[in-house]
C-alpha cells in the first residue's frame, strides 16, 4: 500500500499517432485495463493518447484495440483525459505536477498528489538520445525538462515514491542523470545507445500489436501476486526474457524492493490464474526503425491489385530515399566539420556527463532548422540523432554543431 493516508496515482502516455504506430496506444490501453482491474479509481488515473486507432479507417474491427494476438479488446472504458492535439509534452509535465493553470485544456484532469502518495508513470512511443516523442513531430519531451520537473516535484513533496516505465528507443538516455536520492526509480525498454523492439504482427490489421518490453512487464503484472512480487523481481524477469534489447534501471534502486502493489494494488486472483495458463509468446521482434519498412513490404506482398501494388512500391522507394538523404546529410556534418572525432563515434553510447540542456538545444535545431520532417509520416531523424548526440559527448560545442548543420542543409536546400 502507499504511505499512511496516501493515494496511488497513475499516468499513462502514448506519444504517437497513425495506424503504423498502433502498438503504442494498444500498450497504454492495456496498461489502463490492468490498473483499473486492480482497483485504482479513474479519478487517480490520467491517460494521454491521440485516440485515432480504435475507429481508424484501417481498423478491420472498429472500436476494437488488442495488445496481443487474439487478445481481448482493451479499448472499452479507457478515459479520454487528453486526446488529439492535447497530447503534448507541455500538458504531460503540467498534468504530472498538478498544475491545472499550465494545461492547454478546459477542466483538465491532473495528478493532485501529495507527500504521502505514490506515482506510477508509463510512457510508450518512439525516442532518440535525450528525447521522447509526442504525436506532433514538432514536439518532443526532452530529458532536461523531464529531470528538472521530477527534481522540482521532489523538492515540493509531491510524492512519497515515484516509478517511471518508458518504452522507446534510447530510453536509457532519458534517465542517465536521474539522481539516486529523490525517491524516484525508472525502468527503460532499452539502454542509452540501443533501440527497442516491436512485436506480434497481426496480418489482418497489418500492424504490430505490442512492444517487447511492454508486453513482458504487463504480463508479469497480470500473472503475479503483487503483494509479494517486487519491482526488482520484475526487473530480473525483464532481463531474463527480453531477447533484442536490454532493459535498464536508474535512480533510487531501493524502491525496487517495494512490492508492486504499493503502486498498482494487487492483480485479482482470477486474472493471475488465467494469465499463468496462457503462455506468453512474442513473435516478429523488429527493430522499431524498421517497422514502417516492414509494414509497407507486408502490404506490397498482400496487395492483389497491380496499380495499388505499384503505388505501395513507390511509397517504399520514397521511404528508402528519404532515409538515405538523411543519412547523407548527417554524415556530411560529421565528416566535413568534425573529422577528428569521427573515428571515435562508434564507441560507446551517451555518458552521464553530457550536458542535457545542450543536447536539447542541438536537437531542436536539428529538427526545426535543418529538417521539415514533421510533415513526413515517420520519424526519420530519430536514428541519426544518436550521431549528433555523440558529437556533444565527445566534447564538440553545441554552437559548432548547429553552425555545421545549418551550412550543410542550406547547401542542400539551394542545390
Catalytic positions: 126, 169
SS3 content of the chain, % helix, strand, coil (to 5): 45, 15, 40
What gap in Å lies between CA 137 and CA 367, rounded to an integer? 9
Q: Cα 4 to the chain's mean position, in Å?
A: 32
Which of 183, 330, 335, 341 is closest to 256 using CA atoms?
183
SS (H, E, C) 210-276: EEHHHHHHHHHHHHCCCCCCEHHHHHHHHHHHCCCCCCEEEECHHHHHCECHHHHCCCCHHHHHHHH
Q: Are 240 and 54 in contact (CB under 8 A)?
A: no
What gap in Å lies between CA 213 and CA 171, rounded to an integer? 11
Q: Cα 409 to the chain's mean position, in Å?
A: 29
What gap in Å lies between CA 408 and CA 119, rounded to an integer? 45
Q: Which residue has the cell 498502433?
A: 22
Amino acid at each position: 500500500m502507499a504511505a499512511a493516508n496516501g493515494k496511488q496515482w497513475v499516468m499513462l502516455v502514448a506519444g504517437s499517432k497513425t495506424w503504423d504506430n498502433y502498438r503504442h496506444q494498444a500498450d497504454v490501453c492495456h496498461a489502463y485495463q490492468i490498473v483499473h482491474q486492480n482497483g485504482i479509481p479513474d479519478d487517480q488515473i490520467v491517460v494521454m493518447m491521440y485516440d485515432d486507432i480504435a475507429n481508424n479507417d484501417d481498423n478491420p474491427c472498429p472500436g476494437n484495440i488488442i495488445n496481443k494476438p487474439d487478445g481481448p479488446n482493451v479499448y472499452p472504458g479507457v478515459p479520454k483525459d487528453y486526446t488529439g492535439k492535447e497530447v503534448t509534452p507541455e500538458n504531460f509535465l503540467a498534468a504530472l505536477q498538478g498544475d491545472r493553470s499550465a494545461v492547454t485544456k478546459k477542466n483538465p484532469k491532473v495528478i493532485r498528489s501529495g507527500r504521502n502518495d505514490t506515482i506510477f508513470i508509463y510512457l510508450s512511443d518512439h525516442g532518440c538520445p535525450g528525447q521522447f516523442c509526442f504525436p506532433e513531430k514538432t514536439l518532443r519531451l526532452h530529458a532536461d525538462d523531464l529531470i528538472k520537473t521530477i527534481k522540482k516535484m521532489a523538492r515540493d513533496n509531491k510524492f512519497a515514491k515515484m516509478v517511471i516505465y518508458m518504452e522507446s528507443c534510447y530510453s536509457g538516455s532519458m534517465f542517465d542523470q536521474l539522481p539516486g536520492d529523490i525517491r524516484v526509480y525508472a525502468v527503460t525498454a532499452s539502454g542509452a545507445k540501443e533501440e527497442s523492439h516491436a512485436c506480434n504482427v497481426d496480418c489482418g490489421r497489418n500492424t504490430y500489436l505490442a512492444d517487447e518490453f511492454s508486453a513482458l512487464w504487463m504480463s508479469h503484472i497480470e500473472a503475479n501476486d503483487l503483494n509479494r512480487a517486487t519491482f526488482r523481481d520484475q526487473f530480473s524477469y525483464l532481463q531474463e526474457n527480453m531477447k533484442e534489447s536490454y532493459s535498464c534501471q536508474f535512480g533510487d534502486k531501493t524502491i525496487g524492493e517495494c512490492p508492486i502493489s504499493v503502486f498498482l494494488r494487487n492483480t485479482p486472483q482470477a486474472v493471475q490464474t488465467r494469465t499463468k495458463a496462457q503462455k506468453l509468446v512474442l513473435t516478429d521482434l523488429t527493430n522499431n526503425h524498421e517497422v514502417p519498412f516492414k509494414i509497407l513490404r507486408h502490404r506490397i506482398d498482400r496487395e492483389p491489385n497491380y496499380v495499388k501494388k505499384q503505388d505501395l512500391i513507390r511509397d517504399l522507394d520514397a521511404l528508402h530515399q528519404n532515409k538515405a538523404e538523411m543519412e547523407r546529410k548527417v554524415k556530411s556534418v560529421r565528416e566535413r566539420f568534425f573529422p577528428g572525432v569521427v573515428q571515435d563515434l562508434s564507441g560507446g553510447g551517451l555518458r552521464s556527463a553530457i550536458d542535457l540542456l545542450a543536447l536539447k538545444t542541438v536537437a531542436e535545431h536539428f529538427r526545426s532548422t535543418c529538417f521539415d520532417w514533421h510533415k513526413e509520416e515517420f520519424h526519420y531523424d530519430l536514428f541519426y540523432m544518436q550521431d549528433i548526440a555523440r558529437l556533444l559527448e565527445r566534447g564538440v560545442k553545441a554552437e559548432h554543431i548547429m553552425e555545421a548543420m545549418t551550412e550543410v542543409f542550406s547547401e542542400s536546400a539551394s542545390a
